[in-house]
Structure 1
């Protein structure tokens, strides 16, 4: 019984590791610490803790973890693509003054410094954006992939709450109503795709026991 409880704790620890890519943004916003430096430190911690946790898991748990990570990565890529597409549709159709993709170069400058060209900063920021989309999806899949698809929407609304709490003050957004509507549509899209696709990918992957 103690072994099972320990294994479940390790499983949960592994699930929360991918969320570090978003947590470092909070650290950056609150402390002005370089986002690049925070990501470097987080990467070392994720690798070290992840390696230790992986070694402590049973062989069956490792197989199941791989299964859920693959499901989450596939779902996360598609969900993030459609998240961006839905936001693009909203701002295009309604001619919004708020342009959500301005965040990409800001991410890039925060990670690698102000000396970057706009194109390189945008590319780095886009990579960080998609890394978050994939990592958040992997964390979701580890925890909830076998469960009801609509849990993906609740997960995405949690991410929406995180964004609302951080972005307006950090970016000094003026068109707040437009930001909220674009963000909500994007996260509803992301969560729906994440919940459905991760569950389907998990269902049709080779089956094994968790513990």
Structure 2
């Protein structure tokens, strides 16, 4: 029976959810990605590898073809997803902080380093591949439009889950638009490759995919690093108002222990929340009460990636990167 309805393909399809399950547990406050890495993600990855080997050795073309297509489609989809966001990053729209957070969560560290950035990108890539397998096992041979719908569906799930609250996808319409457009560029390559089945032997397709991903990983890791220790500060005042938080600036880089100034530019009291990605859960963090038309200093207690937002307000959040001295 050359279908998905066999124990081996079904078990592989279930194992593909191991990667994203780590993130869901982290943002929902159920566990941490670091705690789930060995007992959950690693066994799932090993089982997929073993199942692929078994299918290949037994001539199971149904499973091996779909795993090949999902791998290449997931790689190209991830490349498309990230490439479309690079200009947005350069424009200051700040679409990449989740990847840095992934690296800190998986590593179990409360500060960012080049290594945690690489880990974060690797985890981001693992999601792209496993989602590719989830799609390919079910939808190989279908019209590429299903891939686009699949990509958009992934973003819908991100918005409605605690992930959407943690990373501000619900609060700022421009952020949501960017996220949906990026997922179009993930779903189209995946859907097209699985429809046309053009990567039967991998070959150049996998080589080009790997090259594209390696280039993106190198760019990401290098682009985030401070120059000569710490970058020059463009200002430590974070303005909070109806247009945006800290408008026009991509993010703030400071050494741990530095002081930032929060400025309430509205005519009413605001309750801002500053939370570290070390906590992960969307309800964590420190509440900072700001009277109308006032300023208040706040010291960053340790290295890490912090998000400043005003819960309940449709304003963009600001990201503060605190580097350990």
Give the alignment's TM-score, normalised by structure 1.
Answer: 0.79
- Match in the other structure for 2:266: none
Q: How far, CA to CA, are the matches of 2:55 and 2:80 in structure 1?
A: 36
Count the aligned residue pairs.
Answer: 198
Of Structure 1 and Structure 2, the greater strand share is in: 2
Matched-pair contact (CA < 8 Å) for 1:72–1:138: yes
- Closer/same/farther in 2, CA of residues 5 and 158 from structure 1, 3 Å limit: same
CA deviation string 1:104-158 (max 9, x = no partner): 2211111112255421221110110011101111221111121111111121122
Matched-pair contact (CA < 8 Å) for 2:52–2:64: no
CA deviation string 1:175-200 (max 9, x = no partner): 62122011000101110111002322
Say whether residues 1:67 and 2:65 are aligned partners: yes
1:22-61 aligned at under 5 Å gives the runs: 22-46=20-44, 59=58
Shift of 1:205: 2.5
CA deviation string 1:156-179 (max 9, x = no partner): 122111211232322356862122
Aligned-pair RMSD on alpha carbons? 3.0
Q: Which stretch of structure 1 is more off in the superposition, 29-38 or 151-160?
A: 29-38
Q: How far, CA to CA, are the matches of 1:39 and 1:191 in structure 2?
A: 27
Larger Rg: 2
Of Structure 1 and Structure 2, the greater helix share is in: 1
Q: How far, CA to CA, are the matches of 1:129 and 1:144 in structure 2?
A: 22
- Match in the other structure for 1:176: 172
- Match in the other structure for 1:99: 94
Say whether residues 1:147 and 2:142 are aligned partners: yes
Q: How far, CA to CA, are the matches of 1:181 and 1:64 in structure 2?
A: 37
Higher relative contact order (CA 8 A, sep 6+): 1
5+ residue gaps, structure 2, are 202-325
Q: Which stretch of structure 1 is more off in the superposition, 141-150 or 30-39?
A: 30-39
Say whether residues 1:185 and 2:207 are aligned partners: no
- Match in the other structure for 1:76: 74
